[in-house]
A and B are shown apart, each in its own frame.
Chain A
Amino acid sequence: MHLFIKNMVCDRCIMVVKEQLHAVGIEFKKVQLGEVELSQPASDEQIEKLGANLFPLGFELLDDKKAAVVTQIKSTIIKLIHNYENEEVNQKLSVILSQKLGKDYHFLSILFSSVEGTTIEKFVILQRIERAKELLMYDEMTINEIADTLGYSSVQHLSQQFKKITGLTPTHFKKLKENKRKPLDQV
């Protein structure tokens, strides 16, 4: 049995979800971003309690099939862009998504748009810009290197897209004292 949880974006989220599973006594095999694999079916009561516990932490337990698929799509994209798995990716995103979810990309794309009101492509761009913000703040790489890491063809391309989304140039963003980053689940 699988549970689908919305808004998980990093290893700490996994840690927190695991704690909550323990707290309500649900046994699990594996917890991934957005998805929990249970070792044995949990009772309705337990699941309801888990949902109630997760909500104040900013998570949401999903019972809707569509929403579950959307969450899986988002988790896959977040893992790719924020480089949690450290593997070189040369494939197109559409191929990766349809392979991971076992469904046609066209189907996924329409489903995503109908639930989220925005396209997968747009979501990818937003995530990438958020990653760019993170890397800019660390001040360890030049803009050139960041563009390269994130797979932009050139610095201009990154700058243009960055400005379009945030209204600021990367250089200007770097100079801002106030923190302008968003939590990944609110992108």
Chain B
Amino acid sequence: MQHEAQLFIKGMVCQRCITVVNSELQQLGLIPVKTSLGQVTVITTVQMPEIRVIEEKLEPLGFKLLEDKKIRVVKEIKRLVATVYSGEYEFPDHFRFSDLITEAFHKDYDKISALFSLVEHQTLEKYIIDYRIEKIKELLVYTSLTLLDIAIKLNYSSVAHLSRQFKQVTGLTPSYFKEVKKAKTILELSTNLS
């Protein structure tokens, strides 16, 4: 199997940089087919090394790997989702995630959302729902919060709304989920003890 990849490298300015980058990549078993200032196409017959490995190889020489802009934006979106649905976020009246996105990226929500779907093969809306459901699970199991508390923390309009969405995604009602988890934990505890 042959793999091909594009690397974008920051800090390359002359012919010597190209030589140095080529020889470093060869040491990792990558064959540079085309190297220009700032951009390398490599092929390899073995497994592609992790980005981190390449980074560590190039950094002492004063180079940096550039992340693709799209991937960078998606990471930031995910970070934003994580802050908003951390359970600690103070939701203002009439909160809308799309407003937050336009404010943070200075771009139309449509564009950002399209970009997210393109990179993640999942819509941003679906990602947010999944994220919230995971958070509910976490809060159900590890805290003694009631469903009402959780609904408020995660900005659901009502407990009914939360339950319905939970059931839609997981197939279980929140209370059933909690009981099953509890039973499981007790079971694990007792087997550990005996």
Q: A15 — which chain B residues lie within 8 A by C-beta?
A: 16, 20, 61
Chain B residues, Cβ within 8 Å of A82: 13
Question: Does A137 contact B38, Cβ atoms closer than 8 Å?
Answer: yes
Instruction: Map CB proximity to A onto B1-35 as digits: 1 under 8 Å, 0 otherwise.
Output: 00000000011011111011000000000000000
Most A CB contacts (10 A, CB to CB) among B15, B39, B69 go to B15
Which one of A12, A134, A140 lies within 8 Å of B20 (CB-CB)? A12
Are B13 and A9 closer than 8 Å at their CB atoms?
yes
B36–A179 touching, CB < 8 Å: yes
Whole-angstrom CA separation of A140 from B37 in the bound complex: 17
- A1-58 residues at the B interface, CB under 8 angstroms: 7, 9-13, 15-16, 57-58
Do the beta carbons of B37 and A181 come within 8 Å of each other? yes
Which chain B positions have C-beta within 8 A of A16?
16, 19-20
For residue A138, which residues in chain B have a CB less than 8 angstroms away from its CB? 10, 38, 66
Q: Could you tell me if A179 and B17 are in contact, using CB atoms closer than 8 angstroms?
A: no
Does A183 make an interface contact (CB < 8 A)?
yes
Give Cα A129–Cα B66 distance, bound, in whole angstroms: 21
B62 at the binding interface (Cβ < 8 Å): yes
Q: How large is the interface on A (under 10, 10 to 19, 20 to 34, 35 or more residues)?
A: 20 to 34
Complex Cα distance A181/B10, Å?
13
Residues of A within 8 A of B20 (CB): 12, 15-16
Closest beta carbon of chain A to B25's beta carbon, Å:
14
The residues of A that contact B37 with a CB separation of less than 8 Å are: 134, 179, 181-183
**A16 to B20 Cα, complex, angstroms:** 9
A9 CA to B62 CA, complexed, in Å: 13
Q: Which residues of B contact A183 (CB under 8 A)?
A: 13-15, 37
Chain B residues packing against A (C-beta within 8 Å): 10-11, 13-17, 19-20, 36-39, 61-62, 66, 69
Offer 26 A-B interface pairs, CB within 8 angstroms, sorted by A.
A9-B13, A10-B11, A10-B62, A11-B61, A12-B14, A12-B16, A12-B61, A13-B16, A15-B61, A16-B20, A57-B19, A58-B15, A82-B13, A134-B37, A138-B66, A179-B36, A179-B37, A179-B38, A181-B36, A182-B37, A183-B13, A183-B14, A183-B15, A183-B37, A184-B13, A185-B14
By Cβ-Cβ distance, the 8 closest A-B pairs, closest first, are A179-B36, A183-B14, A181-B37, A184-B13, A12-B16, A12-B20, A11-B62, A12-B17
Q: Which residues of A pack against B, CB within 8 Å?
A: 7, 9-13, 15-16, 57-58, 82, 134, 137-140, 179, 181-185
Q: Beyond A16-B19, A179-B38, list 5 extra A-B contacts (CB 8 Å).
A: A9-B13, A10-B13, A10-B14, A57-B15, A181-B36
